[in-house]
Chain A
């Protein structure tokens, strides 16, 4: 019989197409049923199930290669998925490689959106679930705790998570650069389109104090406002009350500009040192270009936001090798220590 093995088995966005991931996802009660299957699996001493929209992964400590295969069979049986087909997509790693993979997942290096931090919370939640129910033992405890530390180190020591990489998040980041905090800020959404809605949601998720939605068709504004927990008003009225807002997100379908230099200039005269952020996501543009030259007005259009997102994305990519080197060194050290834990379990 071979010795204890630390393994990772799973399917991730790197190798598995979306339509296959949909079939493999442990949705609803399937996750709980899968855990029950694994708990009763002979030779499987510890396990953690990480199930997100981009990956289904099983981290475990088993009696040997046969245990990993048993997990594989149990998963395919549960998902009614062909075992041979799964083997063509699946990622199967053991030992130091498995540790390195976990560290890279927790650090956001393996994410579809490089450097995103949501995965860190998902890995933590998966581990907490396993630990609270007694599925994770001393080996996985050490490995996961060290993985969390490594992920934090990578965030601190590299710029892998710095800068936003989506247009909506860049707009929010800009607002934070201007206002510091969004709680006291008043946001106006001009237009009820999809991109405007996404940006409005991004502002709300970062704590924007008040949001109003304005559209030429008040019923559309009201419909969107209801979903966002905002107030609705007619476009003309909103433009007349422009001075009350700190951030204006423009995404109307108007063929001509909605905000002109003269009216914004008049608004700014009454605002003294209070700045105004105009995010123009409309095509054709909703705000006259010269508005951006006014003191205290910060005007960003779709191209500006996309360029910043692209620069941030490239800056993150440039940090990958540095981040990977940090994680590799940590994974090797951790694996050395984890081996003694595995030996003790055997």
Chain B
């Protein structure tokens, strides 16, 4: 039976959605979520998504980052990769639920808009492996920022439950404020380091091929990196309260996602396009 890369990615989205449904049912019933069930659903989704993206990458001869569909898929994949590591380490079953939510929304959204995968940029990396490294690192940092946004959301929910003095129900399953704050700090440092490395690689190795790089893309990615770096600096100097840090993380992630569209738009002008929806060849 021939299964295309998109079909594998649909299957992955289905498992992410299953994780989301399992978590929601547990929350509605006021029960502790089954770590094994949610982690299992996410892990299976991750496996299928990895396979689907690998098939696409093999078919296109590089990292599948040629259109908005692929960018969303890869960002969701990065966030899930990190959850599978961080979530186990910190025993955050609620983070699993929110990760499933993020992955399901991003993958289903990208699969549900066919126009995003109608065309893709061909010869995206110009045969330069460093450009591919840059793109991979940058996308992975977006995944880290995605997880940071989720952690921040949990922080705000915990803060609200403590402030409103309503501690029962599903709020009782949330990690402590300080734990969430520490995790957020580490994720921000990791994300800024990764994006910084990605931008450094771009400046060093892509500089020679600068003719192909649009200003909008440079401005957008550098702006995102700078904003996160400023946030990290403010946090290190003790200028950000926990709640402000959480709000900023959420706002910046939304902006970061918006820049993906800008990156995609500027690229379509730079490099020739080919038919999208690449299937297993």
Contact = CB atoms under 8 A, between A and B. Distances in A.
A304 B165 contact: yes
Q: Which of A173, A296, A315 has the most CB of B within 10 A?
A: A296
Contacts of A295: 241-244
B241 A177 contact: no
Interface string A235-274: 0000000000000000000000000000000001010111
Interface string A151-181: 0000000010011000000000110111110
Interface string B218-251: 0000000000000000010011111111000000
Contact of B240 (A179, A272, A312, A315): A272
A338 B176 CA distance: 45
Nearest to B181: A273
A298 interface: yes
A179 B176 contact: yes
Contacts of B179: 180
A302 interface: no
A178 B165 contact: no
A43 interface: no
A315 B168 contact: yes
B239 A308 contact: no
A272 B162 contact: no
B128 interface: no
B158 interface: yes
Interface residues of A, number: 27
A303 B101 CA distance: 37
B176 A176 contact: yes
B177 interface: yes
A163 B168 contact: yes
A174 B163 CA distance: 11
Interface in B138-180: 158, 162-163, 165, 167-168, 172, 175-179
A182 to B, nearest CB: 11
B178 A180 contact: yes
A300 B164 CA distance: 10
B180 to A, nearest CB: 9
A315 B158 CA distance: 21
B256 to A, nearest CB: 22
A159 B172 CA distance: 12
Nearest to A272: B238
A311 interface: yes
Contacts of B245: 273
Contacts, number: 60
A177 B165 contact: no
A275 interface: yes
A178 B239 contact: no
Contacts of B239: 272
Contact of B235 (A270, A273, A296): A273
Q: Which of B162, B175, B181 has the most CB of A within 10 A?
A: B162
A292 B242 CA distance: 16
A311 B30 CA distance: 15
A246 B144 CA distance: 30
A178 B168 contact: no
Nearest to A173: B167
A174 to B, nearest CB: 8
Given A273-B235, A308-B167, A296 B172 contact: no
Contacts of B238: 270, 272-273
Contact of B162 (A270, A298, A311): A298
A275 B178 contact: yes
Contacts of B241: 268, 272-273, 295-296
Nearest to A293: B163
Contact of A296 (B30, B167, B243): B243
23 contacts: A159-B30, A162-B172, A173-B167, A174-B162, A177-B158, A178-B178, A179-B178, A180-B178, A180-B179, A272-B235, A272-B238, A272-B239, A273-B181, A273-B235, A273-B240, A273-B245, A274-B178, A275-B177, A295-B241, A295-B243, A296-B241, A296-B243, A312-B168
In the A-B complex, list the 9 residue pairs whose CB atoms are closest, starting with the nearest.
A180-B176, A272-B238, A273-B242, A180-B179, A179-B178, A178-B177, A298-B162, A295-B241, A295-B243
